[in-house]
Structure 1
């Protein structure tokens, strides 16, 4: 039985991934570049940034710096104004919290993470949250989840990771931790074959973990 769960954040606890793409696409459109969604998803699966396509097309770094600032502003606007809830998350976490200890391991920047959770109940179920500033190497590197293991003082066999993307799955696998992948339409075309479990939603995770 697993005693700890490390949750990815975007696409697992809140539905932010489409808005992060939209923010980057809009910012790049402002400088005349069209961000291809399918290639973006392929880049994301390997941990490559939003700007990979633009750089390959010859967009210079000064322009990318300006676009990055615009993307961040668009994204925070979306976080304030769009519906990013995932149905059933809080109920599932409430049930799980009676049986396991939980934490968040995310590539979200602290400012975005704090904005998302300023008015939500998700973090009350978590022992801690690791954001992008809390480790050096981002997913698919194993460091984020290895850092989570150390924070819990847990062995890998006691822990389950919950992810929705190939990048996050790769991080969990590299850290030697079993991973349940929850369905999300934004990442469903990615190679998720290394997952220990495939689940439709977090309610199904509760059924899986709680014996």
Structure 2
């Protein structure tokens, strides 16, 4: 199809699987939790848990119902991601392909009066901040984490809040996502969505009907617009 060029007021990025790869750490964290919660099928969980808030996954798979216990265990789980990613020869938390060039372009505009990009993640603020520091991405002015919404992805709330924090209408925003639940969230919020095939199959992503579907962010370029916002080029095979 070639290159598709368009302009948006703001880009709302998911984090895990979109900007950074923390797969090794997530696997290690679930393996650790399987010691506390016998019977967990780690491979089955990994096939459906990505893009969902940690508290929601722990409620579903570990049967935790107490809000206090959920908060405590979510913090322990995400600490285990960081620990596991650094241990046993794992690869750590690393930038995904194409991310560095986009961040190099957008980060200089971080102090604009109206933010032109945000990170909207299902992770907790503590973990997301640590993961971004490890990978070398600054925490943006517009930052949405699990604690900021009552209903996480696939509900529209996270991306509606991301657009609000950028001070622009959701319909003028572009969401970048790697998980079916995140694609559904972005579309429900009224945003255009780029789906990435970094953590799920092409068929799983196509089933949610993202506006555009590419392998990873190497197929996308972004530049600060002359009058604000972001100019986007999506290269479609």
State the TM-score, normalizing by the size of structure 1. Answer: 0.79
Indicate how the Cα distance of structure 1 residues 60 and 5 shifts in structure 2: closer, same or farther if over 3 A, else same: closer
Counterpart residue number, 2:26? 20
* 8 Å Cα contact 2:16/2:22 also seen in 1: yes
Greater percentage in strand: 2
Residue 8 of structure 1 pairs with residue 14 of structure 2: yes
Q: Which residue of 2 aligns with 1:49?
A: 57
After superposition, residues 122-161 of structure 1 pair within 5 angstroms as: 122-123=137-138, 126-161=140-175
| Contact 2:98–2:219, Cα closer than 8 Å, also in 1 | no
Distance 1:60 1:152 in 2: 34
**TM-fit CA distance, 1:139:** 0.9
The match for 1:84 is 93
What's 1:201 paired with? Answer: 216
CA 94–167 in structure 1, closer or farther in 2 if over 3 Å, else same: same
* Comparing 45-54 and 156-165, the one that deviates more: 45-54
The CA deviation at 1:44 is: 4.8
TM-score (ref. length: structure 2): 0.71
Contact persistence 1:165–1:192 (CA under 8 A): no
Deviation at 1:5, TM superposition (A): 0.3
Q: Provide the C-alpha distance between the structure 2 equivalents of 1:169 and 1:206, rounded to a whole number of angstroms.
A: 20
CA distance in 2, matches of 1:119, 1:45: 20
Partners in 1 of 2:116 and 2:51 — Cα distance?
28
Structure 2 gaps, min length 5: 1-6, 110-114, 223-230
